Chain A
Amino acid sequence: MTTTRANSDVLSMLDRPNSYIGKSVPRPNLDRLMQGRGLYVSDMELPRMVHVAFLRSPHAHAKIVKIDAHDAKRMPGVISVVTGEELATVITPWIGVLSHLKGLKSAPQSAIAIDRVCWQGEAVAAVVATSRAAAEDAAENISVEYEALDAVTDVIAALDPETPIIHSSLGDNLAFERNHDAGNVDKAFAQADQVVEAEFVFGRHTGVTLEPRAVVADWNVAEARLTIYQGTQAPHMVQNIAALHLGLTESQVRVVCKDVGGSFGIKVHIYADEMAVYALSKLLRRPVKFVADRVESFNTDIHARDHRCRAKIGVKQDGIITAFEIDDLTGIGPYSMYPRTSAIEANQVVNLVGGPYANSNYRARARVVFQNKNVMCQYRAVGHPIACSITEGLVDLAAMKIGMDPVEIRRRNLIADDGYPCASPSGLRFERLSHHASLNELIAMMDYDGLRAEQAALRAKNIHRGIGIASFIEVTNPSAAFYGVGGAKISSQDGVALRLDAQGSVICQTSITEQGQGSESLTAQIVGSVLGVPMQCVRVIMGDTDNTPYGGGTWASRGAGIGGEAALQAAKILRRNILNVAAAILQSMSADLDIVNAAIVNVSDGALRIELSELARIVYFRPDTLPPGVQPELMATRHFVPREYPFAFTNGIQASWLEVDTDTGFVRLLKHWVVEDCGTIINPQLVDEQIRGGVVQGLGAALFEKCIYDERGQLTNANMADYLVPMPSEMPDIDVGHVVSPTLESELGAKGAGEAGTAGAAAAVSNAVNDALRPFDTIVTEIPLTPRVILAALGRI
């Protein structure tokens, strides 16, 4: 179910005849995916292609004393066994720092470990063979002599002077610290009627993309060109970095994405083992394929969200929040990830806490420490789930303390809908949000009062249901403020090249990429609408650095807002160019003509003047019939980059309705609601589905997911039976509503929507559980909320 309430006028470009904007049209080209005829990189085969399996360290921290691959090299099917030292002749190491994250430090990381391994699962050798099975057989016959070193596996102990320093050259295990102080927090707490403190603990998560990371690297020595087939979200970034570290020029590297079996940020980073694959192909001069198996994925796909945060809120008896304060600690891996760094998540937490609220007193400290565990980096909604859980958890605690309804305290503190533009105490600039309109929509959708009555009635029968609300803001459409300013070669702009071909089809090359969210569809919908052609006429080409404009790709919910705007602008120009040619052919004024349904028509009476296909035929094959001097241009390219706002913030609010079985500690999710304001909605169904998928990832975080490391730094649940992802039976239906506040930065007015679901879902669930447990006078501020955690909170065990 979806309801929409427009908050402003829709712009004219979007109001064209037969416009697809705002229509839930089915995505094009789904048949091949549904028939099992997609082409994922894990499906790919090339002539002379070989397979690599990595021998991985069983130790969290150890010196590599000796690697003996003598027997392994002679096993059937083995092409080569390559160590870190050997690979270093082909590929240089990297350091994951950005200059705008002041003080962020990290050590050089090699594609394959040299001298020392720093996490359990880090690759120590690559075995290349004619099949994955043969490579694994050989890997078992490599003997590695390790000298185990002390492992840093506790975030708090990591900063103890007694704890060994992972990289002695860095001086300590502190990768990054950020402090922020706005307003007068101490005075604000002193003036508060109540101050509530809590420690919030978050389980470490990972993405668990159903298709694991897969790459085929093909170095063609005769062409001196490397083609990388990889399901990356940012092909130009991969191109840039591969070239840089392999000693190639940018134009010697082509990155092709193919179909991608899920990403959510997991596949936007640079992985050591993938860099190793590029290098191996160059070394061996043939295609090399790597597909991570599930255990490897758990051990080496980036992890995220491993935080513990002491947080405080000050509130007056009338409900006004006076201050927020946090002290956040997060443990990453032994290296800051490249090139986006492992400090961004913590930095976002500092930025985002308290975001929806009209409070100006805010103090924060965030520290990021190295550990001998898997690397950590951006994963869907980066930092938002942490910040939202902390903020919304504190707001609920404040409400409880003063005896106020959680909806009421939000009404009194959310930034007023007419209070924009404004800035948060952490320096975030908001163009226009709709917290109150969203809250009102949510309350209506969920029948809040009805649920409260039901809760009360069931409580009398010892059935404990809870309602949890979570407001949130969400970063989308990032400008260069995110990465570019820090020196990262990550583009914040995107481009679309559009042309009308000889038979009237429209070819659209875009620099955003598709992982299933609907990038292809939104692009075709915009082009079709603005140009005036049916969507079926528009062929979208994505994910190929040889065949698309230069761009950032799809991440941080930027595809629709930035890539969509580029598509809109390119379509406007192509439309103008076509109408100019049409005017010349038809001896009319271009202002009197329009393109509707792939034909030139009169604006005045809609009469058909000439089909686009006929116009194209003339332009391409009979330009001799055009008026003198006319040089038609049936191709247009436009790029778009956000300039005014560093980020286009969206806002939303979520609610969870659940039941806690106080006998068993199990939580049953009954229903979930989201109201989201992401500006102009291009395809409501696709947006809603992004929200639903995002919510379920957040629900997984709330109840199930956690990477469990033991004190020796061993990941103990690196498989899908023991790392619990949300499955169909435990997930609720999710109702989605919208408020629409377009951004004025673009003509399209679209902000992003991909991550909003994940930002607030866990917070809503946590608040709902605590709401359900009110009669038991216990609060839980840790996730996942497992039966064990809940039974302990209830004092049953």
Chain B
Amino acid sequence: MKASAFSYARPTTVPNALELLALHGDRAKVLAGGQSLMPAMNLRLISPKLIVDIGAIVELRGISLKGEVLLVGALTRHVDLHNSAEIARYAPLLKEAIAHVAHPAIRNRGTIGGSLAHADPAAELPACMMALGATLLVRGVHGERRIAAEEFFTGIYETLLSPDELLIAVEIPVAQRNSSPFFQEFSRRRGDYAIVGLAAQAVLKNSGFSDLRLAFFSVGNRPHLAKAARQLTNVVVTRSILSDASDLLRQELDPHEDQHATPAMRRYLANLLLRRCVSKLLDRPDLLEEP
């Protein structure tokens, strides 16, 4: 399984990279960590004519606190996210999620930008960005744009990124006081893609939620921010209310079928995650049981 031949460029600045992408369009592919791109190329699932290796672009690295947001460079590796004190403090959901991404050797190369741009529906980071209400900073030759995470992912391996654009960084709102993350995924073996997963961020108030973002992944062709969360905010959550939210969730999900699960099973597991999430965040073990 050897990749097809290609030309290789290693720009050192964003403008250089963008020029190359503008020139070559969809005959070029961006190489970041390579942990998703290289398998696809080795399997000859894709055969780009030009690889634009952005690994030398210093501007794309780094995590910094800028007021109320964490600015995370697109080339930040998974391992760096996991070890980062800023992430641990201001976006603990990410730190928890990263432990589920593949294996140590993959996390040493894989990048947040790569994961988001690749947009595997079963990946953890896209859902985390949605749960955190993050904004993706994207640049093309014509300028920069800001895209909300919840709009960025449009389908299987599809995003709003055009072939001549580069994901530069992610802005993550700093976790508020009284905010709590929840992360859980069901995978057949450690490090495997999830059968179903949930990345959630809540703001707690008066034994309830004043804000709740539930981002399910591996539930269809892209991660899904559950509308059902609205049923659970600014109310006293009872078993009945949770049950209604469950029904809504079942309806709004359109899960796919694969070797691991039927759509019914994915709906079932998503619901299980919903109940576990709400029960854990509110410290309400009574909410775990199905009515």
Contacts and interface: CB of A to CB of B under 8 A. Distances in A.
Asked whether any CB of A lies within 8 Å of a CB of B in the complex, the reply is: yes
Interface stretch (A23-31, A116-124, A470-478, A715-723): A715-723
A797 B190 contact: no
B268 interface: yes
Given A133-B2, A295-B1, A797 B262 contact: yes
B1 A797 contact: no
Given A727-B190, A729-B190, A791 B259 contact: no
A704 B268 CA distance: 21
Given A136-B2, A722-B259, A704 B269 contact: no
B4 interface: yes
Interface in B142-194: 186, 188-193
Given A719-B43, A791-B268, A132 B189 contact: no
Contacts of B261: 787-788
B189 A666 contact: no
B265 A788 contact: yes
Nearest to B188: A724
Given A664-B269, A724-B188, A787-B186, A137 B259 contact: no
A792 to B, nearest CB: 8
Nearest to B190: A729
Listed from nearest, the 6 A-B pairs whose CB atoms lie closest are A133-B2, A729-B190, A293-B1, A797-B265, A797-B264, A727-B189
Given A717-B259, A724-B189, A294 B268 contact: no
A163 interface: no
24 contacts: A131-B2, A132-B2, A133-B2, A133-B5, A136-B2, A137-B4, A140-B44, A294-B1, A295-B1, A295-B43, A664-B269, A664-B272, A708-B259, A716-B259, A721-B193, A722-B259, A727-B191, A730-B190, A786-B188, A786-B260, A788-B261, A796-B268, A797-B264, A797-B265
Interface in A767-797: 786-788, 791, 796-797
Contacts of B232: none
Contact of A730 (B5, B189, B262): B189
B262 to A, nearest CB: 7
Interface in A687-715: 704, 708
Interface string B176-215: 0000000000101111110100000000000000000000
A719 B193 CA distance: 14
Interface hub of A717, A724, A729, A797 (most chain B Cβ within 10 A): A797
Contacts of B4: 137, 140
A132 B1 CA distance: 8
Contacts of A722: 259
A487 B186 CA distance: 52
Interface of A: 131-133, 136-137, 140, 293-295, 663-664, 666, 704, 708, 716-717, 719, 721-722, 724, 727, 729-730, 786-788, 791, 796-797
A796 B3 CA distance: 44
B237 to A, nearest CB: 20
A791 B269 CA distance: 10
Given A664-B272, A797-B268, 12 more contacts: A136-B1, A140-B4, A663-B272, A664-B269, A708-B259, A719-B43, A730-B190, A786-B260, A787-B188, A787-B261, A788-B265, A796-B268
A295 B3 CA distance: 14
Contact of A704 (B2, B3, B188, B195): B188
B134 to A, nearest CB: 27
Interface in B32-63: 43-44
B35 to A, nearest CB: 12
Nearest to A293: B1
Contacts of B189: 704, 724, 727, 729-730
A720 B189 CA distance: 12
Interface residues of B, number: 24
Contacts of A727: 189-191
A209 B268 CA distance: 36
A117 B234 CA distance: 64
Interface hub of A133, A663, A704 (most chain B Cβ within 10 A): A663
B192 to A, nearest CB: 8
A341 to B, nearest CB: 31
Contacts of A708: 259
A132 B269 CA distance: 44
Interface hub of B2, B192, B260 (most chain A Cβ within 10 A): B2
Contacts of B269: 664
B277 to A, nearest CB: 14
A724 B190 CA distance: 11
A505 B261 CA distance: 61
A724 B3 CA distance: 24
Contacts of A716: 259
Contacts of A797: 262, 264-265, 268
Nearest to B2: A133
B260 A788 contact: yes
A724 B259 CA distance: 11
A719 B260 CA distance: 15
A132 B4 CA distance: 11
Contacts of B191: 727, 729
Contact of A787 (B43, B44, B193, B260): B260
A791 B265 contact: yes
A295 B5 CA distance: 20
Contacts of B195: 787
Interface string B249-291: 0000000000111101100110010000000000000000000
Contacts of A666: 186
Nearest to B288: A663
Nearest to B276: A663
Nearest to B275: A663
A137 B188 contact: no
A14 to B, nearest CB: 43
Given A663-B272, A704-B188, A729-B189, A788 B1 contact: no
A786 B188 CA distance: 8
B46 to A, nearest CB: 13
A293 B39 CA distance: 13
Contacts of B44: 136, 140
B287 to A, nearest CB: 14
A392 to B, nearest CB: 25
B36 to A, nearest CB: 11
A382 B259 CA distance: 26
A132 B186 CA distance: 39
A730 B187 CA distance: 11
A170 B186 CA distance: 48
A716 B186 CA distance: 22
A543 B16 CA distance: 57
Interface hub of B43, B188, B191, B268 (most chain A Cβ within 10 A): B188
Nearest to B47: A140
A676 B259 CA distance: 36
Contacts of B1: 136, 293-295
B214 to A, nearest CB: 18
A510 B278 CA distance: 66
A664 B188 CA distance: 11
B233 to A, nearest CB: 26
Interface string B15-44: 000000000000000000000000000011
A786 B259 CA distance: 10
Nearest to A661: B186
Contacts of B262: 788, 797
Nearest to A704: B188
A701 to B, nearest CB: 14
Interface string B122-148: 000000000000000000000000000
A727 B190 CA distance: 8
B281 to A, nearest CB: 18
Interface string B44-85: 100000000000000000000000000000000000000000
Contact of B186 (A131, A295, A664): A664
